[in-house]
Structure 1
Amino acid sequence: MRNMLYSSVSAVAVLGTWLGTAPAALAAAGTQSETAAPAAAQVGTMPASPPAAATPETAEPRPSAGGGLEEIVVTAQKRSENLQRVPISVSVATASELKASGISGVQDLKIAAPGVEVQNQNGYAFPVIRGVGSKAAAPGLEPPVAIYVDGVYYATATSNLMSFNNIQQVEVLKGPQGTLFGRNATGGLIQITTRDPSRDLSGEFNVSYGNYESLKGDAYISGGLSDNVAADLAVNGTVMGDGYGTNLFNGRDVYKIEHDIAARSKWLFELGDDTSARLIFDYGSTRHNMNAARIGIGTIAPPPFGPAYAGSKWDINADEHPLIRNRQGGVSLRLDHDFEFVKIASITAYRRSKYEIDFDFDYTPTRGRVVDLEQKDSQFSQELQFLSPDGAAIKWVVGGYYFRANARYPFVNISFAGPAALPTMPPTVLSTTKSAQKNDSLSGFGQATIELVEGLSVTGGLRYTSEKRTLADASQVNTRADGSTVIAFPLTTRSRRFDKLTWRLAVDYQFTSDVLGYVSYNRGFKSGGYNPNVLILPAFLPEVLDSYEAGLKTSLFDRNVRLNLASFYYDYSNVQVQRTISGGTGIANGAKATIYGFEAEIEAQVTDALNLRIGYQYTNGEYDSFPSSVVATPRPAGGFFINNSGSATGNTTILSPKSTLSVAGSYEIPLERGRIVLNSTYYYNSGYYHEPDNVVRQPSYGLLNASVRWESDQGMSISVWGNNLTNEAVASYDGIQPFGATGARRTNYAPPRTYGLTLGYSF
């Protein structure tokens, strides 16, 4: 590991020195002073007088041949900074890039950010970055990749499969962010920023119609309500007349959205020259059966179920028709004030959600196991930040964060019938679990960057987190066929506290104004907790990830090319891995892993009309020690034998493709009164394993999206688009579902080929 780190540092130094002294075009670019693009052209800047604590430095326009690339502003270090000056690996997608690439929600982000994968199980989002992620679903089981929206952490996995609405940009921070963002950012985080309202009246309206009789509309309107108040409203909705597949049991559609609506409103109050407030309300409601799962292709269900059935990959054959209902909403208030000697930011937020699901738990037409459950979540968070003023010799931020959540199962009902009934005397026909997981977390953090000599800076940061997890009012009662009941797990409440110190140390050197090299060492952790879905499992312990990274950020050829490189090495201990016992999903510890790789992202303004973006990542992950893993072995009669104490040592870590590649291009054709924009995006994934036993594998695949858009000078637009034009059947979730000593492979898929027409108008 040390040799690899030394090699990475040496490579950065050599390449940075070469770039810094390269002849002609590179040298010309390197001698330009650091300035920012005009405010109206910056990507990621905020209109309508943004708060002082979040305002990027402004300067004269940057001269650039052919216009060059726009500056990208990110908030990876709690302040607005040029992406090329931040010693962190960050992938950024702007609103226009998301739309052009056919990225409409969190699950599509892999197309824009190499090394990112977002799995979807029954409406739970499982984001993965660089092979770090989890597939455990239950109240209070938060993913190790955090999702933030406008500075607010969304803890509930059922709330994170959102469709994008009113997006300004999305930042993907790779590697542990344990100092400034804290727990549950072991693998990194996804930071979504929505647009600020402006005082000028403006609006944007789009309506789309596509195959599967899909209808989607979105509307955004913004304007000033007074001299110091501006507000906006963003609404979007989707309905489908046909599903991607059919339930062969009853002929009804599956993979169909009955409705998916969301509304968001942001109010910006300018309370003075140095003070501002942002009040945000949001609400969403969805009803769909995108959780349709079938017995995996090439396998059959274990007896007494099965056999395998025909139909397309999006067809199912289940006697219980799947359905998900989810409602969520929240309110947040951000206050910013600039005291000149210090900037202060306060973010207060409250969220709640209700999630309900019904599905066939044996995935066959044989009446066996049916699940009906409800999950309710509420969370409150308060963050306070103190930041150094603009131009300070030392850039610093200190703050505190409080988080409180209550995630609970009012009920989880698993119904059993016939041969699938639990083997008791008389057999159990219903198992009911009730439980809650409460979380109280308090942390303090600080980070500072000091320039030791011209161009050479050191960054150091610490965060201390104290978190109390409580399993509350947990019980399980089994009902027999004769109506009698048996207490399988008595009413229990218990708590544990987890305390952890995490840190960041980074050294960066500005070889020229356009070439930055850096090395960093970061520690992140994800808190321990309980398994509300499998009450017999003990509390699991925190996982810890030590990350060593070296990177290079460059702007070349008069800033018409942006090339960013990074290599990383992860020492990953006490890995929290999904564990399924008797149909319940939880988390267990006991694994140690090593993950390493490198990535490259390049964007080039090839001509005034042609823009090209390429992203590549190589990842190698292996379990160094995993002595007690769930291991599945195919059974000749169907299904799988399940060994709950097998070994996965030496296996590839889950959701870790060796290679991912994305290529996106846009070409603009000017017209006398408008323009035509051609866009195409290709994404390649070399394939990955879904479980630590490496039995179920997603084969390599490629996705192709394309669009043609006409825009008039009067704000009208027409787009023809197609997503997944190669019609690849890619599993959005796959794996073995254990039922005691046996198990079945169940699979559900991401959307097939979709295409349609969009009409738009903006003013």
Structure 2
Amino acid sequence: MHSFVRISLLAGSVLTAPAAFAQQALPQSRDDRTTSVGTGDDDTGQVIVVTARRRAESSQDVPLAISVVGGDHIDATGAFNVGRLQQLTPTLQFYSSNPRNTAVNIRGIGAPFGLTNDGIEQGVGIYVDDVYYSRVASSTFDFLDVAQIEVLRGPQGTLYGKNTSAGAIAITTRQPTDGFEGRAEISIGNLAFKQAKAAISGPLSETLAARVAISATSRRGTIFNVTTDNYVNEQDNLGLRGQLAWTPRDDLKLTLSADFSRQDPECCATIYVRTGATQRDLARQYAALSAAQHYAVPSTDPFARLTDLDAELSARNKMGGVALKAEWDTGWGTLSSISAWRFWDWLPANDRDYLGLPITTLSQNPSQQDQYTQELRFNHDGARVGFVAGIFAFHQTVRTSGSQAQGPAASAWLINPTNPLSQDPTVLDGLTASNDIRLSNTSAAAFGQVSWKVTDALTLQPGVRLNYDRKRGSYNSVVVNGDGQLVTFASSDSRIAAQRAVLAPQGFEAQFSDWNVSYDFTASYNAAPGVLGYATYARSFKSGGVNLNGLPADANGVPLLAAASVKPESVDHFELGLKLEFWRSRAIVNLAAFRTDISDYQALVNNGQLGVLRGYLANADKVRTQGVEADFSIRPSRRFNAYANSAYTDATYRRFVDAPCPPELSGGTTVGEGQVPGAPGTPGGLSPAACDISGQRLPGVSKWAFSYGAEGNVPAVLFGLDGEAYLGIDGNYRSRFSSNPSPSAYTWVDGYALTNLRAGFRVPGGIDLYGWVRNAFDVEYFEQLAVPSGNTGLIVGQPGDPRTWGFTIKTEF
């Protein structure tokens, strides 16, 4: 809260700048758009410039499915992080139970659903000013002084590297300026929402310019904890960014940037949603277990937003770094060098039993990361032939020091009631596992892409990338009981055996290394002015990895090292697209049809072939995502603009025969030879060792998704200032989706539609005052559902934000 007060005072001082001065200092700003193109403030339209192909060009000239969201539109719609951005871009999916357990997917693919693992990388690359952010936790931070965001759909491996098999998010921040300028805004709203942003930029000398930006957000939590008598799942964010741009001569520019972001909320709680019958014995399912301890949740209505979690909650998160970008115009092309160091510190605390019972009293996995990247590339744009060529190096170290402790209610909850030890709370009380997880990750690549203009209409674009990966990791878990004794597999004591069944010691080392070649080929054809068609084939991959969350083990506790490494994903991608621009760029229609086939898809599995049943990451045989996307925008005049985006995505497991079973088919005795599994949800029934989910839906992706918006304005005068009054609407819809790695009858999230409204008065290039309402119709929806470990039938979830409203005042000068 103190950080917010400091930022508010700074932003408030900037807001006091005279409006007349603000109008003279900054030209009228362009309207930003949520489709792949946008138009300007004049009647003939204005091209949006993107850098998707590592060079500046019109978004309509790029043979690629791309969504562009401008910084002003981000501010107007409250999309201040990637989670909110998905409401504007239908093909983007975002899921987060906390910053570390976050997944960002495009077209239904990108990251395994439901399991965080240090040794596995993401499939959607996140870049800020050309610097790669390897930890997906960065997507939970507030956008800071952003000029534009480009969401590149489909594999981008040639230019963006191994971690973009599903796509990339390229964020461009506002840069230092040769003239003095500034901007600031303050927002307040219900739930004690406060947000302040400020940036100032200008010259320090004839060759040196600087820019400083700062942002702070705070908001009361949306879930009330009856145990601690306070609201949880709050927002408490702070961000700082500074840049120096030195131009010693006309052909050379160096930009030094540094940033720091911090989150410190009491977060992240899920709430009781429902229960469903599993194949566990009836005495070991939720109803019986809770009744035995005379326990009841504070409410069975999830949208009462009540919880009774009794363990500490924390999602303290710090990230930052330094980058140096050098650009030299050689006369024949531009040579660019991007050097960067980044860090990430994660200090969490969770209640992993999801209940107000002292079952798991401590669950945390503090993690620290350092990464170093170096990219060197050369761009040449010729009349007929242009190319991009470069090299890239990456090194990352990650250390995670986790711990989990059981409490006095653990014995009755976790040990079979038929075992007398279940009645002794001291058996599991104080049982603690301390985990040390380490990763060293090194990668190097050489890449190139050529654009050959065969004729004035036909362009061929081949690209290739050679990549080398090496990962070395270790996992060591030491378990101590409440009496201070080591829990080992050597002991035959019945108490130790019961403790070992809950938290088992384990230690191993794992490594992976591989060479890989990615390539793509695109042919584009300008059939007429404003008409571009393209066809793309890409052969891409996502890097292999190592399992660092523990491995299945044999009866003696020896880890099965055959499961220690995970093979790379192999991606075959086909895409056809059409980009239409007409009515002097006032109207835009973009269409794309795609199909992506993935072999050795990295997924959560229970692999019966290894003779054990433990969830870990391995390779499913085949996955396919295919669909059609359409983006439309129109601006008949500077007084009105509208957009509509849609996506149909059919994402399925094509072959996955040893997948984890859903809860209704789990928990019973594993079938033996000649036995038949019981019906789903039959207490005490026989459970299959694994389930064949071939043909079923991938988690987290809706078949249908839409976003739309419009804004109109009329001339108006307020407080003697000539400006315009405006009214805007932005909405989105998602059809139902599965929220479990294997589709379950208990974890389908119903489809929902959200509507955001805003109305205000602005002086273009000066002051802007508006009110806003988000989730205007107070729709009750879930962002995610989850199945807690133990398979008691409990289903928990994260409800989406209720209706929020507030006011914003901002200025530019």
1:385 alignment counterpart: 377
- Paired residues of 1:154 and 1:160 also in contact (CA < 8 A): no
Q: Which runs of 5+ in 2 are unaligned?
A: 1-26, 278-284, 422-426, 489-503, 553-562, 668-680
Alignment pair present for 1:565 and 2:627: no
Equivalent residue letter for 1:588: A
Partner residue in 2 for 1:538: 564
Contact 1:102-1:706 at 8 Å conserved across structures: no
- Structure having the larger proportion of residues in strand: 1
* 1:166 shift after superposition: 0.5
User: Mapping of 1:585-664 within 5 angstroms?
Assistant: 586-634=616-664, 645-664=690-709
Matched, 1:728 2:779: yes
Counterpart in the other structure of 1:755: 805
1:22 aligns with none
1:684 counterpart = 2:733 = yes
* Mapped contact 2:604–2:660 kept (Cα < 8 A): no
Contiguous gaps of at least 5 residues in structure 1: 1-38, 46-61
Assess if the C-alpha contact under 8 Å between 2:121 and 2:545 holds in 1.
no
Return the index of the structure with the highest Cα Rg. 2
1:120-199 aligned within 5 A? 120-124=96-100, 125-134=102-111, 135=113, 136-199=115-178
Aligned partners of 1:195 and 1:92: how far apart in 2?
15
From 535, 539, 542, the counterpart of 1:526: 542
Residues 323 and 64 of structure 1, relative CA distance in 2, 3 Å threshold:
closer
- Deviation, 1:643, is 5.8
Residue correspondence of structure 1 range 222-233 to structure 2 within 5 A? 222-233=201-212
Counting matched residue pairs gives: 704
* 1:733 shift after superposition: 2.9
Counterpart amino acid of 2:518? T
Give the counterpart of 1:397 among 369, 388, 391.
388
| 3-state secondary structure, aligned to 1:645 | coil
Deviations 1:449-499 (A, max 9, x none): 112223111110111111001113x21111123210135455433322022
Supply the distance in 1 between the matched residues of 2:686 and 2:269 (Cα, whole angstroms): 24
Structure 2 match to 1:409? 400
CA RMSD of aligned residues (A): 2.8
- The residue that corresponds to 1:274 in the other structure is 251
Q: Are 2:378 and 1:359 equivalent residues in the alignment? A: no
Provide the C-alpha distance between the structure 2 equivalents of 1:109 and 1:639, rounded to a whole number of angstroms: 45
For residue 207 of structure 1, what is the aligned residue in structure 2?
186
Distance 1:42 1:706, change over 3 A: closer
Tell me, yes or no, if the aligned pair for 2:39 and 2:635 is still in contact at 8 Å: no
When structure 1 is superposed on structure 2, of 295-304 and 228-237 the one drifting more is 295-304
Query: In 1, Cα distance between the equivalents of 2:388 and 2:405?
Result: 49
- Residue in structure 2 matching 1:667, options 706, 712, 729: 712
- Partner of residue 755 from structure 2, selected from 695, 704, 711: 704
Corresponding residue of 1:33: none
- Offset at residue 592 of structure 1 (A): 1.0
Specify the code of the residue in structure 2 equivalent to 1:459: Q
Deviations 1:168-221 (A, max 9, x none): 000000001111111111110111110011122211111111111111111111
**Counterpart of 1:398 in 2: which secondary structure?**
strand
Matching of residue 69 in structure 1 with residue 45 in structure 2: yes
Corresponding residue for residue 32 of structure 1? none
Distance between the aligned counterparts of 2:686 and 2:336, measured in 1? 55
User: Closer, same or farther in 2 for the Cα pair 1:386/1:743, shift >3 Å?
Assistant: farther
1:415–1:431 contact (8 Å) kept in structure 2: no
Matched, 1:553 2:602: no
CA distance in 2, matches of 1:281, 1:104: 20
Query: Relative to structure 2, which stretch is displaced further, 266-275 or 547-556?
Result: 266-275
8 Å CA contact retained: 2:39, 2:46:
no
Letter in 1 for 2:663: T
TM-fit CA distance, 1:751: 2.0
The question of whether the paired residues in 2 share the 8 Å contact of 1:66 and 1:607 is answered with yes
Contact 1:404/1:439, CA 8 A, preserved across alignment: yes
8 Å Cα contact 1:442-1:467 kept in structure 2: yes
Task: Say if 1:497 and 1:489 are closer, same or farther in 2 by CA, change over 3 A.
Answer: farther
**How is 1:451-462 mapped onto 2 (pairs within 5 angstroms)?**
451-462=453-464
Q: Structure 1 length as normaliser, TM-score?
A: 0.87
Show the counterpart of 1:304.
289
Kept after mapping to 2: 8 A contact 1:333/1:348: yes
Match 2:225 to one of 244, 247, 254: 247
Check the 8 A contact 1:630/1:693 in 2, yes or no. yes
1:728 is matched by which residue type in structure 2?
V
Paired residue type of 2:211: D
* Matching residue of 2:497: none
Q: 2:677 aligns to what?
A: none
Report how far residue 579 of structure 1 moved. 4.9
Contact 1:43–1:70, Cα closer than 8 Å, also in 2: no
Aligned residue in 2 for 1:31: none
CA distance in 2, matches of 1:714, 1:513: 33
Contact 1:140–1:407 under 8 Å retained in 2: no
Partner residue, 2:195: 216
- For the Cα contact (< 8 Å) 2:605–2:660, is it kept in 1? yes
> Shift of the alpha carbon at 1:743?
5.9
SS in 1 for 2:85: helix
Partner of 2:434: 432
1:618-650 deviation digits (Å, cap 9, x = unpaired): 111221111111112338699999866222112
- 8 Å CA contact retained: 1:533, 1:585: no
Is the alpha carbon distance of 1:639 and 1:273 closer, same or farther for their aligned partners in structure 2, counting shifts above 3 Å?
A: farther
SS in structure 2 opposite 1:485?
A: coil
